[in-house]
Structure 1
Amino acid sequence: MAKKMMAIVMAAAMSVTLLAGCAGKGADTPAAADNAGRTTENQGSTAAGGEEASGEDGSGLVPITFSRAQDSLMETDIFARMEGASYEDNLWTDLIAERLGYDVKYLWIASSAELQTQKFNAAMAAGTIPDIVCVNKTDLKQLVEAGLVVDMKPYFDEYASDFVKELIAAGGDAAIQACTYDGVQYGIPYVDCDIETAQMLWLRQDWLDELGLEAPETLEELKNILAAFKEHAGSGGSGLALSSDIYGNNFDIKGWCNAYGAYPKYWIDDGSGKLVYGSTTPEMKEALGSLAELFQEGLLDPEFYVNDNDKAKEALVSGKCGAMYGYHAGSLWPLQDVVDADPEADWRPYALPVKNAGDTIKPGIHMCTANWYAVSKDCAHPEALVEMLNLYCEKVLDPEKNEYAVYANPGDGLEGVWRLTPVTINSPNKNQVTAKAIEEPLKTGDPGELTGEQYSMWEYSYKAQNGDTQLWGWNRVFGADGSQQQLMSYQNDSNVELVYDQFFGAPGEIMTTKKTTLDDMLDQVFIKIIAGQEPLDSFDSVVEQWKTAGGQEMTDEVNEWYS
């Protein structure tokens, strides 16, 4: 039971890490899982690049302010196990004081995320934000327009360790461009992994083997597999799992659409140097038509449009469906639940099937970075942010010098200690690095010099390979034939072309006020087209309605940004 609970907790943490940055408006710590990476140089023991600190309280420490929301899991899982620990007094704040000369202070600790947002919005309006904040791109834009934050590039260039600079660079240029206004870089991105937004096809490998079938390369081959799976599942069986959340991480249509060159909700180049909304292209219409054919042939759940993801999962768990499009962590959820119910079940990820044999595989990906650190114009030491990032890397990410078992995840029921620090950073390619690092040790059974998260992922995967089905999901992420191997294949295969969402800026006025309504307008019709409740030509009429209702204005706004 303990193993199962640990797998559930780690699965949830990893899922959050792939999709989230900092923990909300003005929050100090990213809502992310454990990180893995490399090194940083030792920091001095005093603040301001070696100047003698002179705290207002006579402690000799320089106060640096933050804000955050209460974290019930931190309070029950960490504070309860670390005598005397609190948000402002713990092993991380002690380390920051000792090594950097900063006294971590919280202007407020809100009782909920909602209240945190309210308090931060009020602080922005009053011009009294904390010294260091972590915000989304919309809030960053407001901070810049209000003149409340400073240019961080000079401080980053001077104070960041080589490793921190490498981490930020690995996050891609878009993450920097998104926090740059009029040539000034106002933020440091909490970088995340763009390639992990790509879709893949998850299939029940045990069914493929039992039926003597090979993984599909084309959509037609996939349709044949779906028909065979439906028959194999018996009464109540279906072909492809799909939910009403048609653009989610799992049970979605994105991977199918990509085969047609359709990229719903992405802004893509129309070939003339202009951006067009991917949900409105002729390729999208063609993809919807083929999905409608799947529905008519009984290869989609007839009630998919009223099923949420949990309901869609039931068909997998009950053995009535063996195929879904999903992202790289699909094995942690929902597929681990399938294996828990049937230990003989085995799923594997495959590259997206293409429309026609010989076509280039073109998965859509987008900027995964969602949050940025920024520093108040009133902060006396903006370099404090960079120095804290350096320190975090040293203690948590450095495979040679890290003290992972002290400052990240000590074990024995004490996990997530890294969340006590007010500033963290992610290694955007850490999962691919981990998969490479444990590849040979998984074959030999010897972890060698693996440490930290790499050792943990080796241990989970090795146990899964040796029969521990409760850890099966981790092996399908990091082990042989796992999702990380598939993502690396996307990056390295000459027959794969990654298609990026080209809009990564803060939404403009039209997008902010109208996009949700405009998307709903399209999606309601799209779902009806797939379900056979509207003819395919309804696509043309709804796209025209979309343009008239503000879609064209939004497109013009996006292209003004793009130019």
Structure 2
Amino acid sequence: MIVKRGMLGLVLGTALLSATACLESEKAVSVTLPSVELNQIDSNGKYKEPVTLRIGYYTNLESKWPEGSNDSFSNNRYTQRLEDMLNIKFVHAFEYPLSDYAQRVSMLISGKDIPDFLLVTEAQFNILAKADMLEDMTSLYEQYASPLLKDVIQGSGPKLMRRVTFNGRMLGIPSTLPAHDSDGVVWIRQDWLRKVGIQLPEAITIDDVERVARAFIEQDPDGNGKDDTHGIQSTSSFLTGTIGLNTLDPYFGAFKAFPKSWIKDEEGRIAYGSTTANTKQALGKLSELYRAGLIDEDFGSVKPDQYAKDISAGKAGIGTGYTSAPMKLLADSVKNNPKAEWDAHYLVAPDGSFYTRQPDPLGRIMVVKKGAKHAEAIILAINVMADMDNSVPGTAPVYMDSPGTNWSVRPIQATFRKDNTLVNRFQRLKDAADGKLPLEQLPKSDRKIVEDYLKGFSELAASPQDWAYTLYQYRGGNAVLSPLNVPVYNEFYGMTDTMEEKWGNLLNLENESFMRIIVGDKPLDYFETFVSEWRKQGGDTITREVKKEIAKQK
């Protein structure tokens, strides 16, 4: 097929999975000719000669490869697809463990020794931008970003684009997190509930959790005749900005408390959620539960990567996490005991609402080192990622036979999803299971999920990852789709000047103060001392800066 010169830009600005069909149906479209020489790229948007991109990479020990495969972080189905479609190869400039990635990248930035392509945090992006170390992506983004990718980024509002813009120039490509990506739910073993004679609705209260925790500790739910089962658990990372694996985050939502978020207080003023009366009330209840022995006494010393140890061993029947938590939190429980049954419950506040703190829509930022060759190639690769992330029709699934192998093993370790991607998918899957939507109308990647769900969870237990993935989509999805679900958005995302200097110390003050209150090392009224110290050590200044930034955005 002969492609006119004016059409080449269109090919480069699509997801490239069905380029020929797109060109045939869009012949009237005229776009700006890309700056890349015509002899470098063929009519389907593929480089004629291999293009190699040096990129920073983190390794995640939780990643699971399909059984029997030889896949690796540097050579897998994602890298092969990008090479087949675009003739782009990725070489890892470094491989750091996920736990060390941010710190090691900061060290590279300090030494002005970054690779050509790198995912960075917003704070790291600001340092690089001020140091004039980044390639200007403004015109490249306009020329090469697909309509879908632009829709993804613009759909998160103008605030997102401002955060990757410096002195009027776009210096990075933002990855995105969709709404409800981290709604926090409480996962409870249903076979244990039957054993202790408790029935629960999907929506539960903090009093329900207290009752279940006490029963799980005292009534030998595992039936081994030993006093060895646990109630509420958490790791040392017990509080996050949204939700973590086996954290105490959902229990704060039960008091309409939103620590680590910028919110509007009862009088409509901007306030830091960790300093509000509702947060104090939540801490008081958690301290009460700890004194009653319902929260494990060693929770403050449990490392974050040990979040599933007691659940996997069949010694704990309550866990917290986002809707997708079963794959990491619960799968080994069923692997070790196929009779273990789990379900999602969500904690409601006294007003009956399930308050879900929404994630920052900005994930990490893809930046290009100033002067790097083929800066446009990273945008072409991201176009392909965006097609996958948004289930574009005709997009062949990747790793659907291995749900434990997720996007984090891609050469570009970020997602580019529309704001409503998750909600729409949960609704599609529910409608299909209820017979309201024919399977043929689902993306191929979704059909197996429905078929697995219709088999029943007991049938899926023989394949723990399939079981966990289906539990996530349906039971976790139910929590997202609940009419009680009230999303809570942060009033401010980003960093102010004083935050860059003092935020780390303030977070340490907060975490230490909250921990001491929960375990009883300090009385509840110590909360007032924390608030006073927080304000003195920079909190008041930061609050003023946040208010000014919010006013600018409006």
TM-score normalised by the chain length of structure 2: 0.74
Please point out which of 161, 167, 175 is paired with 1:176: 161
What is the deviation of 1:48?
5.4
Please point out which of 187, 194, 211 is paired with 1:224: 211
Residues 187 and 274 (structure 1 numbering): CA distance in 2 closer, same or farther, change over 3 Å? farther
Residues 52 and 315 (structure 1 numbering): CA distance in 2 closer, same or farther, change over 3 Å? closer
For residues 437-476 of structure 1, the aligned pairs below 5 Å read: 437-439=428-430, 442=433, 448=440, 450=442, 452-458=444-450, 461=453, 465=457, 467-469=459-461, 470=464, 471-476=466-471
3-state SS of paired residue (2:362): coil
Look up the match of 1:499. 488
Q: Does 1:529 align with 2:529?
A: no
8 Å contact 1:392–1:423 — kept in the other structure?
no
Structure 1 regions of 5+ residues with no counterpart?
Answer: 1-36, 98-102
- In structure 2, distance between residues paired with 1:51 and 1:542: 57
- In structure 1, distance between residues paired with 2:60 and 2:228: 42
Please point out which of 63, 67, 82 is paired with 1:92: 82
8 Å contact 1:133–1:373 — kept in the other structure?
yes
Q: Does 1:487 align with 2:472?
A: no
What is the deviation of 1:285?
1.2
What is the deviation of 1:447?
5.2
Look up the match of 2:353. 360
Q: Does 1:263 align with 2:255?
A: no
Look up the match of 1:549. 537
Residues 119 and 297 (structure 1 numbering): CA distance in 2 closer, same or farther, change over 3 Å? closer
For residues 273-284 of structure 1, the aligned pairs below 5 Å read: 275-284=270-279
Q: Aligned AA for 1:323?
A: I
Look up the match of 1:233. 220
8 Å contact 2:307–2:329 — kept in the other structure?
no
8 Å contact 1:385–1:423 — kept in the other structure?
no
Look up the match of 1:189. 174
8 Å contact 1:66–1:422 — kept in the other structure?
no
What is the deviation of 1:483?
0.4
3-state SS of paired residue (1:334): helix
What is the deviation of 1:205?
2.5
For residues 424-443 of structure 1, the aligned pairs below 5 Å read: 425-428=415-418, 429-439=420-430, 442=433
Aligned sequence identity (%):
20
Look up the match of 2:186. 201
State which drifts further: 416-425 or 161-170.
Answer: 416-425
3-state SS of paired residue (1:532): coil
3-state SS of paired residue (2:93): strand
Residues 277 and 330 (structure 1 numbering): CA distance in 2 closer, same or farther, change over 3 Å? same
Q: Aligned AA for 1:161?
A: S
Residues 557 and 121 (structure 1 numbering): CA distance in 2 closer, same or farther, change over 3 Å? same
Look up the match of 1:286. 281
Look up the match of 2:290. 295
What is the deviation of 1:206?
3.0
What is the deviation of 1:94?
4.9
- In structure 1, distance between residues paired with 2:36 and 2:415: 26
What is the deviation of 1:196?
1.7
8 Å contact 1:189–1:371 — kept in the other structure?
yes
3-state SS of paired residue (1:240): coil
8 Å contact 1:394–1:401 — kept in the other structure?
no
What is the deviation of 1:373?
2.6
Q: Aligned AA for 2:486?
A: E
Please point out which of 178, 185, 200 is paired with 1:214: 200
Q: Aligned AA for 2:85?
A: L
Q: Does 1:109 align with 2:93?
A: yes
Look up the match of 2:34. 49
Look up the match of 1:389. 382
- In structure 2, distance between residues paired with 1:424 and 1:295: 37
- In structure 1, distance between residues paired with 2:386 and 2:51: 22
What is the deviation of 1:246?
0.9
RMSD (Å), alpha carbons: 4.6
For residues 12-161 of structure 1, the aligned pairs below 5 Å read: 49=34, 52-53=37-38, 65-69=53-57, 92-97=82-87, 109-110=93-94, 112=96, 130=116, 132-149=117-134, 152=137, 155-161=140-146
Q: Aligned AA for 2:237?
A: D
Residues 366 and 424 (structure 1 numbering): CA distance in 2 closer, same or farther, change over 3 Å? closer
- In structure 2, distance between residues paired with 1:556 and 1:192: 28
Look up the match of 1:13. none
- In structure 1, distance between residues paired with 2:517 and 2:444: 49
Look up the match of 1:17. none
What is the deviation of 1:548?
2.5
Look up the match of 1:30. none
Q: Aligned AA for 1:364?
A: R
- In structure 2, distance between residues paired with 1:115 and 1:229: 38
Give CA deviations for 1:8-35 in whole Å, capped at 9, x if unaligned. xxxxxxxxxxxxxxxxxxxxxxxxxxxx
Give CA deviations for 1:209-245 in whole Å, capped at 9, x if unaligned. 4525233543334433433443333634443223332
Give CA deviations for 1:376-418 in whole Å, capped at 9, x if unaligned. 56468765444443345568865532244xxx44969997899
Residues 163 and 319 (structure 1 numbering): CA distance in 2 closer, same or farther, change over 3 Å? same
- In structure 2, distance between residues paired with 1:141 and 1:79: 40
Give CA deviations for 1:492-548 in whole Å, capped at 9, x if unaligned. x2x44322223322x344323432332222222322221222211111112222333
Give CA deviations for 1:338-381 in whole Å, capped at 9, x if unaligned. 22333222221122221x2x343322222153212345564687
Counting matched residue pairs gives 503
3-state SS of paired residue (2:219): helix
Look up the match of 1:331. 326
Q: Aligned AA for 2:345?
A: Y
- In structure 1, distance between residues paired with 2:402 and 2:251: 43
- In structure 2, distance between residues paired with 1:436 and 1:414: 22
What is the deviation of 1:155?
4.5
8 Å contact 2:403–2:469 — kept in the other structure?
no
Residues 419 and 54 (structure 1 numbering): CA distance in 2 closer, same or farther, change over 3 Å? farther
8 Å contact 1:461–1:474 — kept in the other structure?
no
Give CA deviations for 1:36-91 in whole Å, capped at 9, x if unaligned. x99775588xx953864356xxx9759675433487999x9999679x97999966
8 Å contact 1:461–1:478 — kept in the other structure?
no
- In structure 2, distance between residues paired with 1:222 and 1:415: 32
Q: Aligned AA for 1:500?
A: Y
- In structure 1, distance between residues paired with 2:363 and 2:477: 21
Structure 2 regions of 5+ residues with no counterpart?
Answer: 1-14, 24-31, 41-46, 222-226
Residues 110 and 364 (structure 1 numbering): CA distance in 2 closer, same or farther, change over 3 Å? closer
Look up the match of 2:10. none
8 Å contact 2:254–2:355 — kept in the other structure?
yes
Q: Aligned AA for 2:123?
A: T
Q: Aligned AA for 2:508?
A: D
State which drifts further: 331-340 or 367-376.
Answer: 367-376
- In structure 1, distance between residues paired with 2:536 and 2:388: 54
Q: Does 1:246 align with 2:247?
A: no
Residues 125 and 79 (structure 1 numbering): CA distance in 2 closer, same or farther, change over 3 Å? farther
Residues 206 and 514 (structure 1 numbering): CA distance in 2 closer, same or farther, change over 3 Å? same
Please point out which of 519, 528, 541 is paired with 2:507: 519
Q: Aligned AA for 1:219?
A: I
Look up the match of 2:29. none
What is the deviation of 1:312?
6.0
What is the deviation of 1:289?
0.8
- In structure 1, distance between residues paired with 2:379 and 2:50: 15
8 Å contact 2:386–2:417 — kept in the other structure?
no
Please point out which of 537, 545, 549 is paired with 1:561: 549
- In structure 2, distance between residues paired with 1:417 and 1:161: 20
